[in-house]
Amino acid sequence: MTTLLNVQRVKYQCSCGSFKSLCFLYFCRHCLKIKCKDCVTLEVDCRFCPSCYEHLQSHEAITRKNRCQNCFSCPSCNHTLVTRATNSLATLPSNLNITPENMNAGADADDSVSNSTNTSGLQTPSKKVYYLACSVCRWSTRDIHLADQPTINSWKAQDNIHEGRFNELLQHYKQIATREKQERDRKRYSTVKLRNTIATSATRSSSDKYGVLTPLTRRGIRTGGILKTPSLNENLIPTNSSPKPSDSIATIEPLDETLFLSDSFDFNKLTTITQRLNSVESQPLTIDHLYPLAKNFTSKQSKRCKECDHNVLKPEPSPKLIKFKLHQMALFFIPEVRIWHHPAWSFDDNNPCIISVINQVDEKTLIKLYTLDEIRQENDENNSELIERIGQLDENTLTSILTFPIENDRSVQLHPHVEPNDVDTKINDELRQNDPKDLVIHRKFAKLAIRCFVKIKNSDVKRVRPIGCLTGYLTLRQNDYLL
C-alpha cells in the first residue's frame, strides 16, 4: 500500500523530456508516444453544477458567469448549503372585530390552546418560508439577518459596487478585439488570389485575443470576412473613448496601533483570508457581512494530442456519468515498474536492488533492459531523438549507475494481464522456463521481479536520493520509453 500511495518513487520520461509518474501520463496510439499534461490540449465538453448537475451550453454558462442560480456554498467553511423550510405566522386580517376587551378575556383561556389559534377562535393562517443553513459549521442566513424567502430559488445575488466598472472595461476590450480582427481580415483578403481560396478556409476559426467576444460575434466576424473582402477605403468600427483610468492612492491611512489592544475589539468576528478571497467582489471584513456564495460550474474536458491532433481522453457528455468514451492512460499500455526491495545504501559497492514489472495489457509483452551506455552505443545514428532526450538528463537526475547481472540477451516476456478467475498456468510455466535465472528471480503471471545493481556516483548524502535514482531503458513493441 505504501508503494501505491508513494507514486513519486518511479518516474517515466515523457516525449517532451520531463519526468512524471505513470498515473499522470497518457499514451497516444496514433503517434505511439507517451504524453504528459503539457503535451495535450484541453477542450471543454460540457459545463455543469457539481451539486445539482444542471447542464448548460457554453454561452449560457458565460452569461451566468459560470455560477449556478440554485446552489450555494457556505461563505464560512465553503461546504454546500442546505435549504430548510419553516412555518411563519401570517398577519391577521384587518376586518376581524377584535377589541382589547376580547383580547383580555381570552388571556384566561386554557394553556393547551395552540399558538396558531387567535383569541376569536379562528385559525391563524401560516405560510412556509425557506432559509439556507450549513450542516457543518451551523452558519445560516439568519446569522446575517437575511430575510427568509417565500420560494426555494428566490435568492438574489449580492450587489457588486464594481460591476459598472467591470462592464465598462469589458465593452472597451470587446471593441479593441473586434477592431484587431477586422485589421487582420483586411490584410488576409486584400488580393484576388487569396479571395478565391477563402472557401477552403471557411471552417477555420479566428483567434480571440482577449477571450471576451461572444460566439455570435465571432461567427459574424468570420463569415463577414469570408463572404465580403474588406475594402481599403472602408472605415473600421470606431472605438469609443478610453475608459476612465483608475485613481491611484497617494497615501495610505496608517493602522491604529491601539486597535488590537482595545477591549472592545473581538478577533472572532474578523473574517479569514480564505473567506475574503471567496467573496472577492465584496471582501467582507467581519463575519456578519458574509453572504451565500453561488456554486461555481465545473467542466468535463477532453484531452487531445498536440502532435497528431487525436483524442487521448474523451469523457461522456452527461454530467452524471463517470465513464469515458476514450481513456488512453499510460497505465493501461505501459508496464508498471515498482521498487520492490532495496538494501541499506553504500557509496562504495554495488547495491543489490529488486524491481518489479507488471504488465497491464491483455497480451504478451516483450521488454528489453538496457543501460544508458548501451543506449548511446546502439542508437548513436539510428535514433537521434532518443539520444537527444538522454543528453538532457543532468547530474542531479542521474545520481547513480544501473547495471544488471547478465550482459547479453536481457529480453523478458511478460504474461498477459488476466483476472484472478482467468488463470492459465500453462503459459506461466512456459515463460518461467525461458527466464534467465540470474536476472528474473520471481514470476507470478503478469508480475515478475528483476535483480539489478545500483552504484551511487555522488557521495554527497544531502543531494543523493537513492529511492528515486533508478534509471533504466525499456523497449516495448519497437517503441522506446525511458524509465
Looking at the chain, the whole-number percentage of residues with pLDDT higher than 70 is 71
- Torsion angle, CA of 222/223/224/225, rounded to 10 degrees? 60
Specify the pLDDT at position 73.
Answer: 92
pLDDT band at 105; cut points 50, 70, 90:
very low
pLDDT digits (tens, 9 = 90+) for 111-124: 444 444 554 545 55
In whole angstroms, give the CA distance from residue 380 to residue 388. Answer: 10
Specify the pLDDT at position 19.
Answer: 84
Specify the pLDDT at position 360.
Answer: 84
In whole angstroms, give the CA distance from residue 457 to residue 348. Answer: 9
pLDDT band at 438; cut points 50, 70, 90:
confident
User: For residue 444, is pLDDT > 50?
Assistant: yes
- Provide the mean pLDDT of the chain: 75
3-class SS of residue 425: helix
Q: Taking Cα atoms as reference points, which of 353, 354, 394, 387 lies closest to residue 372?
A: 387
User: For residue 344, is pLDDT > 90?
Assistant: no
Contact by Cβ (8 Å): 221, 236 = no
User: For residue 471, is pLDDT > 50?
Assistant: no
- Check residue 422 and report its DSSP letter: S
pLDDT digits (tens, 9 = 90+) for 243-285: 888 888 888 888 877 777 777 778 888 899 999 998 888 888 8
Residue, of 199 and 20, whose pLDDT is higher? 20
Summarize the confidence of residues 34-60 as an average pLDDT.
90
Specify the pLDDT at position 141.
Answer: 92
Global pTM exceeds 0.75: no
CB burial of residue 22 (10 Å; 0-12, 13-18, 19+): buried
DSSP per residue over 315-375, as a string? E-SSTT---EEEE-BGGGTSPEEEEEE-----SSSPEEEEEEEE--SSS-EEEEEE-HHHH
Residue, of 307 and 2, whose pLDDT is higher? 307
Residue, of 209 and 456, whose pLDDT is higher? 456
Residue, of 224 and 342, whose pLDDT is higher? 342
Task: Pick the range with the lowest mean pLDDT from 66-80, 159-173, 241-255, 466-480.
Answer: 466-480
Specify the pLDDT at position 469.
Answer: 38
3-class SS of residue 181: helix
In whole angstroms, give the CA distance from residue 262 to residue 158. Answer: 32
Contacts of 62 (CB under 8 A, 6+ apart): 214
Q: Of the segments 75-79, 194-198, 415-419, 473-477, which one has the largest average pLDDT value?
A: 75-79
CB burial of residue 198 (10 Å; 0-12, 13-18, 19+): middle
Give residue for cell 376586518. 95
pLDDT digits (tens, 9 = 90+) for 129-179: 999 999 999 999 999 888 888 888 888 888 888 888 888 898 999 999 998
Residue, of 5 and 170, whose pLDDT is higher? 170
Which stretches does DSSP call E strand in 30-76? 33-35, 40-48, 55-56, 67-73
CB burial of residue 328 (10 Å; 0-12, 13-18, 19+): buried
3-class SS of residue 452: strand
User: For residue 229, is pLDDT > 60?
Assistant: no
